[in-house]
């Protein structure tokens, strides 16, 4: 006797697991998670966007692990082999003229803690002290 389960593997309470492959394919075609959720609702499976995202991620992970473990890359999918002269060839020159302007960038040599301390010391964060300063202000 051989057991043949009717449901896909995983928890049986996952409503959308039997549509996981369809959801992954729709997502690969560019559909949003909301559009996929509405399509599931149209067939009677009411789930949240988070559920759709999770199921698509699971299906993508399962497909990538099955592809990496089981099947190799077909020879017609391999990139072309570069010759030694192509690898060491100089990069193509740009047609735009090169400008002789030098951009000067001034960097702050202080640590992050020093920068934060300088910023905090120049700010009054106490609302009572701020109100007192505003009360003394003649303008």
Q: In the numeric block, which tokens belong to residue 98?
A: 């090169």
- Beta carbons of 52 and 37 less than 8 angstroms apart: yes
Answer left, alpha or beta for residue 118, where phi above 0 means left and psi between -120 and 50 means alpha.
Answer: alpha
For residue 34, the model assigns a pLDDT of 92
Question: 33-42 and 49-69 are packed helices; what angle lies between their axes, rounded to 10 degrees?
Answer: 100
Q: Which residues of the chain have pLDDT under 70?
A: 8-10, 12, 68-105, 137-139
Map out the domains of the chain as residue ranges: 17-69
User: CA–CA distance from 64 to each of 24, 31, 90 (Å)?
Assistant: 12, 20, 37
Q: Each residue of 26-52: pLDDT tens digit?
A: 999 999 999 999 998 898 888 899 989
DSSP 78-90: SPPPPPHHHHSSP
Q: In the numeric block, which tokens belong to residue 33?
A: 């998670």
For residue 81, the model assigns a pLDDT of 54
C-alpha angle 47/62/76, rounded to 5°?
130
Q: Does the model's pTM come out above 0.75? A: no
């Amino acid at each position: 006797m051989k057991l043949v389960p009717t449901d896909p593997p995983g928890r049986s309470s996952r409503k959308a697991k039997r549509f996981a492959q369809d959801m992954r394919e729709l997502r690969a075609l560019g559909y949003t998670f909301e559009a996929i959720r509405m399509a599931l609702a149209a067939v009677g499976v009411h789930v949240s966007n988070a559920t759709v995202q999770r199921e698509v991620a699971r299906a993508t992970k399962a497909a990538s692990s099955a592809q990496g473990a089981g099947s190799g890359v077909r020879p017609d999918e391999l990139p072309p082999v570069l010759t030694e002269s192509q690898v060491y060839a100089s990069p193509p020159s740009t047609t735009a003229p090169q400008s002789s302007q030098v951009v000067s960038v001034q960097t702050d040599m202080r640590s992050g803690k020093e920068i934060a301390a300088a910023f905090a010391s120049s700010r009054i964060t106490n609302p009572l002290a701020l109100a007192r300063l505003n009360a003394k202000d003649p303008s």
